Amino acid sequence: MVHINRRDWVVVFLVSVSAFMVGLVVASSLNVVTYGVAEEPVETSEALEQLQLAYEKAVAAVDPAVVKVDVTLKVTAPPFIPFGSMPFDDDFFKRFFEEPPGHKREYKSYGEGSGVIVSPDGYVLTNNHVVEDAEKITVQLVDGREFDAQIIGCDPMTDIAVLKIDGKDLSVAKLGDSDMVRVGQIVLAIGHPLRQSHTVTAGIISAVGRSNVSLADYEDFIQTDAAINPGNSGGPLINLKGEVIGINTAIASYTGGYMGIGFAIPINMAKEIMEQLKASGRVVRGWLGVYIQPLTPEIVKEFNLPIDKGVLVADVIDGGPADKAGIERGDCIVKYNGESVDDMNELRLSVSRTKPGKNAEVEIYRGSKKMKFKVKIGELPQEDKGIMKKEGEEETAKIGIRVQELTDDIARELGYEGEKGVIITDVEYGSPAYESGLKRGDLILEVDKQKIETMSDFREAISRAKRKESVLFYVRSGEASHYVVVKLK
């Protein structure tokens, strides 16, 4: 044990005091202690108080107009199958083999989401996926009142739905201008996630103009890191002015829960859709009459294009607006009504917003030649989606696909009546075909711009291409046709 006597304690004390005094002098001489430091927390505190007050005012302005949307659906259960599912769980086989015995059962299913009242006469904005196929919809207000809601109209292509309730003294949210949204702005999300009524979360605008997220046919999303969870769908995304700038729609997540990436439909798009649904119960969109695909470096090379931005016309619908104007398959669209076209989503949105019957100027490249067309825009017809698939026989090993000639039965099953070609029946995982996006059920119409009608045509075309670095396929998937470049080296 170490012992320290009284004299030693005195020495230690004096040394400590001396060191403390020297430290003050040194710190003072180095200007470590400044007179301005004491004032900074006061200024920061006032700024924070103002920011907090802005949060509170924004929530107070909008929250009373946020509603809970309860949905009742009638669900039909599939028949009981004693020994598991049908082979491949594929409708193709179900059509050729009788369904196992069993009786379909109906039962009630319940869902919930959020919405926001946008007019004194009771119009409510929400998501289509919240109320789709609903048998009954109940809207609950912040004061506890409940109303049966009527669906005025739904637009699956943007995931917007408009409801109507009959109530008095309704709180109404102010709608902002989503064109003024900028990355970095503070936003709040309000809704009913996970049955937690009137939950408010905060974040910023992470990005604008998000597309290719596979949430809707027409995408121009606002991305935010404000927490959005199941039940938030249909609720408002607001700014600190207390204005609705978006309708919360979905999240990107590996777990199904919040991971910092949420998406909201811009309120300007939602307003445009709402006004059409209120007026006629449906949405009218412009139609160019072409199938399009992205412009890749491989496509640019194959078509000898002098540009690297635009979209490729994969097919032209017979008798459609583009066909009548003279636009052809293989053309590259670079401008629409004077505005540059950089990607497919831009063109789709621009065309959809063009009133049917109006003329649009379309600038294209046909190879290295620039051309302009005046196109009378038509009205977008209702789309009929869906494709089924069937097993096949012959394999093309280097490319990684298995193919067979299109028969009458397969053509009827896949909706390819009247077509000729070879059908892809399997794609090897990790193969050049897989990496390029070819898939089972695609109908090969051309290889390197040579028409394919029989297996013999296909074999000859593939044989000619075996020394090339890439092969250009023209395929049909369901109703849409497009080009695919398969790299071989």
Catalytic sites, residue numbers:
129, 159, 233
Report which of 434, 433, 468, 437 is spatially closest to residue 450, judged by C-alpha positions: 468
CB 172 within 8 A of CB 117: yes
Q: What are the CA-CA distances from residue 444 to residues 98, 406, 460, 480, 481 (Å)?
A: 31, 10, 14, 12, 10
The dihedrals phi and psi of 62, each to the nearest 5 degrees, come to: -105, -35
User: How many of the other CB atoms lie within 10 Å of CB of 174?
Assistant: 13
344 SS3 class: helix
CB 313 within 8 A of CB 295: no
Pairing of β 378-379 and β 286-287: antiparallel
Q: How far is CA 478 from the centre of its chain?
A: 21
Give counts: helices (H), strands (E), the chain. Answer: 11, 29
Spatial neighbors of 159 by CB under 8 A, at least 6 apart, are 127, 128, 129, 215, 216, 249, 265
Give the CA dihedral 54, 60, 62, 64, nearest 10 degrees.
Answer: 170
Pairing of β 186-191 and β 199-210: antiparallel
Cα–Cα distance for residue pair 454/364, rounded to 1 Å: 33
Per DSSP, the residues of 293-307 read EE--HHHHHHTT-S-
Pairing of β 311-316 and β 186-191: unpaired
310: left (phi over 0), alpha (psi -120 to 50) or beta: left
End-to-end CA distance of the chain: 79
The dihedrals phi and psi of 448, each to the nearest 5 degrees, come to: 50, 45
